[in-house]
Amino acid sequence: MSRSHVMRRDQQGISLLVVLIVLVVITLLGLASVRGTLLRERMSANMYDRSLAFQAAESALRQAEAAVRTAALAGTPIGTDCSAVATSCPIPPANTYAGGSTGWTDGTATQTLSAGVPQYIVQFLGRRDSTDELNLGHSANANQYGGGGGVPLEAFYRVIARSHDPANGDRSVVVLQSNITVK
Q: What value, to the nearest 5°, has the Cα angle with vertex 49 and ends 43 and 51?
A: 105
* pLDDT tens track for 109-140: 667 777 788 999 998 888 876 565 555 555 55
Q: Do residues 139 and 77 touch, judged by C-beta distance below 8 A?
A: no
Reported as half-sphere exposure (CB side, CA atoms, 13 A), residue 155 has a value of 19
Integer angstrom CA distances of residue 177 from 22, 60, 65, 160? 58, 10, 11, 4
* pLDDT tens track for 12-49: 678 888 999 999 999 999 999 999 999 999 999 889 88
| Domain containing residue 160 | 2-182
pLDDT the model gives residue 63: 93
Averaged pLDDT of the chain: 80
Query: Number of folded domains in the chain?
Result: 1
Q: Do residues 164 and 49 touch, judged by C-beta distance below 8 A?
A: no
